[in-house]
Amino acid sequence: MTSELDIFVGNTTLIDEDVYRLWLDGYSVSDAVSLRVRSGILEQTGATAAVLQSDTMDHYRTFHMLERLLHAPPKLLHQLIFQIPPSRQALLIERYYAFDEAFVREVLGKKLSKGTKKDLDDISTKTGITLKSCRRQFDNFKRVFKVVEEMRGSLVDNIQQHFLLSDRLARDYAAIVFFANNRFETGKKKLQYLSFGDFAFCAELMIQNWTLGAVDSQVADMDVDLDKEFLQDLKELKMLVADKDLLDLHKSLVCTALRGKLGVFSEMEANFKNLSRGLVNVAAKLTHNKDVRDLFVDLVEKFVEPCRSDHWPLNDVRLFLNQYSASVHSLDGFRHQALWDRYMGTLRGCLLRLYHD
């Protein structure tokens, strides 16, 4: 006796959260069944393995049918085939678009193209995430990217509108899209200590301050591309380190203000010129695409690592950066105060976030 056909269709579509998770994680039906058995469900419910198998198959089939709709979440809301309560719809969407930290760190800043897709095999091996799940996550990134790439208006709003994600997840996707578009390098060894959250935090600051949208909210790509004019202007900051008097003045202003307040004052004093050169040079180089990509590498190399090797406490870093940015306003010879604030305001936030072990 073999079961040829075995289905269950409810007027309200039954969604089992646990099975959904297993499906999203890319487990095959048989793997999912054995995982469920291990969870002790048979003992709790008195069911048999055959029942579990049938139930799992059924849910997988439902999810498979829903997947097409999940690719365009508004469709899920308007379709008539599956009657699903709104809270469940939201859960389905949210979980479908959720991603693994380990996975996103691997592809963050990479071009979302076919070539990368081939690397998914390696990522799967490296992270232990099933290939199927990697594909789903990668395809989600790509799908969101394609849809919002050319759109006007706020990136987060667009994502939310077209994919009906929660605010937090939409912000994460905004970061992913932003990174993918600007191809920021995140995979270098010295960047491995950074979490996706660190990058997403920086992305949000940069989107808010450094993109076209920060100036004009009516242009296409406004939140995705950096403001080219702004990057061009950043060259002007170079005088802060090129002009020897200015640099000295800047240093003395900072040192005066911080004397006695910093535990690492002497180290700071000794390193001031290097640090300042580092930060200003990063700005000046941002006209080249390649240097834009290396932004995070540079920040870590030029600022985070030197400070860390001198064991600056986070609070000292904060005091220093605050003073460092603020003191420029007292430099009479320096005219690009607004530019400096736009640059340094964001950079200060980023650096504080990046500064940890």
Partner 1 sequence: MPGKLKVKIVAGRHLPVMDRASDLTDAFVEVKFGNTTFKTDVYLKSLNPQWNSEWFKFEVDDEDLQDEPLQITVLDHDTYSANDAIGKVYIDIDPLLYSEAATVISGWFPIYDTIHGIRGEINVVVKVDLFNDLNRFRQSSCGVKFFCTTSIPKCYRAVIIHGFVEELVVNEDPEYQWIDRIRTPRASNEARQRLISLMSGELQRKIGLKVLEMRGNAVVGYLQCFDLEGESGLVVRAIGTACTLDKLSSPAAFLPACNSPSKEMKESPLVHPPSHGCRSTHNSPIHTATGSRLTQNFSVSVPTLIYTGMGSGSAGKEGGPFKALLRQQTQSALEQREFPFFTLTAFPPGFLVHVGGVVSARSVKLLDRIHNPAFVGIMGNTRSYKLLDWNSFNSDEPETRDAWWAEIRQEIKSHAKALGCHAVVGYSESTSICEEVCILSASGTAAVLNPRFLQDGTVEGCLEQRLEENLPVGCGFCHIPYDELNMPFPAHLTYCYNCRKQKVPDVLFTTVDLPTDATVIGKGCLIQARLCRLKKKAQAEANATAISNLLPFMEYEVHTQLMNKLKLKGMNALFGLRIQITVGENMLMGLASATGVYLAALPTPGGIQIAGKTPNDGSYEQHISHMQKKINDTIAKNKELYEINPPEISEEIIGSPIPEPRQRSRLLRSQSESSDEVTELDLSHGKKDAFVLEIDDTDAMEDVHSLLTDVPPPSGFYSCNTEIMPGINNWTSEIQMFTSVRVIRLSSLNLTNQALNKNFNDLCENLLKSLYFKLRSMIPCCLCHVNFTVSLPEDELIQVTVTAVAITFDKNQALQTTKTHVEKSLQRASTDNEELLQFPLELCSDSLPSHPFPPAKAVTVEKASPMGEGNFRNRSAPPCANSTVGVVKMTPLSFIPGAKITKYLGIINMFFIRETTSLREEGGVSGFLHAFIAEVFAMVRAHVAALGGNAVVSYIMKQCVFMENPNKNQAQCLINVSGDAVVFVRESELEVVSTQQPTANCQPSCTGGEVTT
In the complex, which residues of this chain contact partner 1 (CB under 8 A)?
1-14, 45-48, 50-52, 54-55, 57-58, 61-62, 64-65, 75, 77-83, 85-87, 89-91, 93-95, 97-101, 104, 156-157, 160-161, 164-169, 171-172, 195-197, 200-201
The Cα 316–Cα 165 span in angstroms is 38
Whichever of 57 and 292 has its CB closer to partner 1, that residue is: 57
- In sequence order, the 6+-apart residues with CB closer than 8 A to the CB of 98 are 24, 169
Write down the least CB distance from residue 106 to partner 1, Å. 13
Name the DSSP letter for residue 294.
Answer: T
Asked if 281 contacts 241 with a C-beta cutoff of 8 angstroms, the reply is yes
Whichever of 104 and 299 has its CB closer to partner 1, that residue is: 104
Report residue 256 as tokens. 């005066």
Three-class SS state of 211:
strand
The Cα 319–Cα 260 span in angstroms is 12
Write down the least CB distance from residue 65 to partner 1, Å. 6
Write down the least CB distance from residue 42 to partner 1, Å. 10
Three-class SS state of 152:
strand
- Tell me phi and psi for residue 226, to 5 degrees: -75, 150
Whichever of 46 and 260 has its CB closer to partner 1, that residue is: 46
Write down the least CB distance from residue 295 to partner 1, Å. 20
What Rg do the C-alpha atoms of the chain give, in angstroms?
A: 25
What are the CA-CA distances from residue 213 to residues 6, 117, 120, 207 (Å)?
54, 30, 33, 8
Write down the least CB distance from residue 234 to partner 1, Å. 28
The Cα 19–Cα 35 span in angstroms is 10
Whichever of 102 and 255 has its CB closer to partner 1, that residue is: 102
Write down the least CB distance from residue 81 to partner 1, Å. 5
Whichever of 53 and 323 has its CB closer to partner 1, that residue is: 53
Whichever of 6 and 305 has its CB closer to partner 1, that residue is: 6
